[in-house]
Amino acid sequence: MAELIDRTGVSGKTRKHSDRRQLLLDAAASQINAVGADNIDLAEIAEKIGFTRNALYYYVQDRDDMALLCFDQSSKALASDLEGAAMPDTSPEEQIREFVRINLDPERKPLAVLSERYFLTSDKRDRITNEIHDVTLRLVEIFRTGSEAGQFRCIDPFIAANCLLGMLNWVQLAPRWLGEPSTDEYRLRLTDAVLQLLFNGFGGPAAEMPFSLPEYQNFSSKPYNAFDRQEATRAKQSQLVSTASQLFNRFGIDGTSINDIATGVGATKGAIYHYFQDKNEIVIACYERAFSIYRHFIEYADTHGVTGFQKAMLVHQLNCQAQASREAPLMLQSGLDALPDQIRAEFVAKSRSIWFDVQKFVSVGLSDESCRESDLKALTEVAVGTFAWLAKAEVQIDGYCPLQLANIIGDIVGTGILASK
C-alpha cells in the first residue's frame, strides 16, 4: 500500500519521525538547562517522553550527540527568529520588537541555553559560535541603521546587540534561579519588560545618574599577610576560586575541567585537590563568593544611592564592572539542579533576596519619580541579562575598560535607545 502524502509533500511516517525527534530535543534542552550538558541522562530523558533506550538511539548516538543537536537547534532558532522579524519595509524598531516577541513566544518550548556550548568539541562548538556571531552582526546592523535614521540614540550597536541577546538568554534560566514558575502569562510580561528596558530604560523624570561610581576592585581585592600561614592558605583558595569563576563564566561549568583550573592558577591538579574534594565543591565555593559580592553591591547601593534610580543603577553598574573584570564573580548559569538540594535551596533564596532588594530600590524610584512606571518584577528580572554576557570568551570589546562599559550599558538601561519617547 502506498504511503499517504499530505499537501506539503511530507509523508505521515516522516512527520511522525520529526515529531518524535522534536519531543526528544525539547526534553533534552530542558535537562541541559537544569543540570548542565555534562549531566545529560539519556535514560531519564527516554523515560520522561516514553521512549525505549533502543528507540532513543535511533535519533542520537550518545550524550555528546544529544547536546550538539540541542545547541544546534538553539542557534538555528535564533537565526530563524531574526530572519522572520527583519522583514523589508519595516523599521529597525519594528524588527527588534518582532524578534523579541518571536524568540520569547510562550508557546515555544525552552531551548538549550547557548552559553553551555563549550561542552562540545572545538570543531562543533565553533560552527555554532559562528552562527551566533552572524546573528549578532545582523542585530548590530539593525541597531546601526536605527541610529543613522534617527530612530535610535547614538549608541554602541555591538553592546546594544549583546545586551539584547543577554536578556533573551537569561530569560531561559531565570525561573530556576529565582524560584518563579514559568507561565505563559509571565513570559509575556518578560517580553514587554525586555522591550521597555531596551527602548525606554527604567529612568523616570527625576532620574539622575550616581555622582560617583566605585571601582569593582574595591569589592574583590583584599590584602593579606603572606607570612601568616592561615592567611596565605586562604589567599590561595581565594585565587583558585576567582580563577575558576572566570573560567566557568567564559567556557561554562561543563566546558571547564579541573585541569583547566589548575593551568589557570599555575598549579598541579593534585594541588587543586588539596583544597577541594571535587569540581562540584569548587562550583559551590564560586557561587558562595559570588553571592557575597552581590550582597555587598546591594549594601553599598542602599547606603550611597540617594534616589531609587541611583540605588538600582549602582547595583547594575557594579555588576557590569564585575562581569567585565578579570576577577568576575560566577554568573548564575545552567546546572543549578545538579547541586545538592540544600545548597540549591540556599542559592535560590539568596538570588530571590537580592532580586527583591533591587525591586525595592525601583519601587522607591517610582515614589520619588526617579524611575519610570513599569512591571518592576519582570523588569528587574530581565535586567540581569544586560551584563551577564560580558564575561564570555567570544565577546571582545576593544578600547573599553570595565568602568566605561558599566557607563555605556547603564546609559542604555537607564535611558533606553529610542531617540524620542
Q: Where are the alpha helices (DSSP H) in 50-200?
A: 53-56, 63-85, 92-103, 122-148, 157-178, 184-199
Question: Would you say residue 56 has pLDDT above 90?
Answer: no
Query: Quick one: pLDDT at residue 227?
Result: 53
Q: Please choose, from the candidates 166, 172, 155, 169, the residue with its C-alpha nearest in 3D space to the C-alpha of residue 92.
A: 155
- State the architecture of 217-415 in CATH terms: Orthogonal Bundle (1.10)
Q: Which listed CATH number (1.10.357.10, 2.40.70.10, 3.40.50.2300, 3.30.70.260) goes with 12-152?
A: 1.10.357.10
Q: Where in the chain is the domain with CATH 1.10.357.10?
A: 12-152, 217-415
Handedness of CA 35, 37, 43, 48 (dihedral sign): positive
Question: Would you say residue 96 has pLDDT above 80?
Answer: yes
Is the CB of residue 190 less than 8 Å from the CB of residue 382?
yes
Q: What is the DSSP string of 238-301?
A: HHHHHHHHHHHHHH-STT--HHHHHHHHT--HHHHHHH-SSHHHHHHHHHHHHHHHHHHHHHHH
In the block, residue with C-alpha cell 544529544: 66
Q: What is the DSSP string of 319-351?
A: HHHHHHSTTPPPPP-S-GGGS-HHHHHHHHHHH
Residues 6+ apart with CB under 8 A from 299: none
Query: Quick one: pLDDT at residue 220?
Result: 63
How confident is the model over 292-338, as pLDDT tens digits?
999 999 999 999 999 999 999 999 999 999 999 889 999 999 999 99
394: number of Cβ within 10 Å: 17
In the block, residue with C-alpha cell 527602548: 199
| pLDDT mean over 357-380 | 96
Question: Would you say residue 57 has pLDDT above 90?
Answer: no
The SS3 call for residue 80 is helix
In the block, residue with C-alpha cell 538549550: 112
Query: Quick one: pLDDT at residue 6?
Result: 42
Query: Quick one: pLDDT at residue 8?
Result: 44
Query: Quick one: pLDDT at residue 273?
Result: 92
Residue 319: all three cell numbers together? 555588576
